[in-house]
Amino acid sequence: MEDLEKIPLDFSLNNNMLLTTTMGTNFIVNIPKCVSTSNFSPVTVRVAVAQVPDSAALPGVTDTEQIENLRKTSQATVYFAGEFKSVSCRVARDLLVMDMADSQYALITVIGYQVGSEFCRQTKGPFCNQALKPSNFYRLNFFFLDDKSQIRAHTDWSPAIQTRNVTNYESADASFEGRAGGMIVITILVSVGGFVIVIALIVAVALSNKK
């Protein structure tokens, strides 16, 4: 890993309550909105998860070959949980944010990556983003792959994140279960239909009184 380029990343996002709140079997972290590098063109971001014994410990990984796959090694403590497409900084600058919603539109914003969103026995695919263990410490590392699927850079390990203590982790946090790849989207849908109806009724009453 010493030969890979280092990409800086703040794993929390302005102390956003959703990103800093952890569950018993999962948590959410900030994702790279774009990657600036002159050495290669980032195409894919692959997520590595490491279970560590305490908040001070670091994963004993010096090579990407030591990061395992839960499909092959179900008890791995350092594993790839999934991957998603990388957005170049040039494309990110060209994106526009629409701060508007009504009954016909929904504003969808990707805010982070959910770690611990799957039960491996219920999912398919090359990776498994398995539900985490309660009251345990985890660290994250984002690896960046080029157009030839070669790992070229990484973010280094995140600060240790501890999951909440629950007694039955398979039944906890059910509302977050089943998000493919762990990508979290917050959909803001503001319906104005009811408001329009109320205004229309008020106007109708006012007009009838004038008559």
CATH of residue 140's domain is 2.60.40.10
CA–CA gap between residue 62 and residue 28 (Å, rounded): 25
Higher pLDDT residue, 210 or 34? 34
CA–CA gap between residue 74 and residue 181 (Å, rounded): 18
Domain count, the chain: 1
Output the pLDDT for position 104. Answer: 64
Q: Is the pLDDT of residue 24 over 70?
A: yes
Residue type at position 38 = S
Q: Is the pLDDT of residue 82 over 80?
A: yes
This prediction's pTM: 0.72
Q: Which domain holds residue 200?
A: 5-210
Q: Is the pLDDT of residue 135 over 50?
A: yes
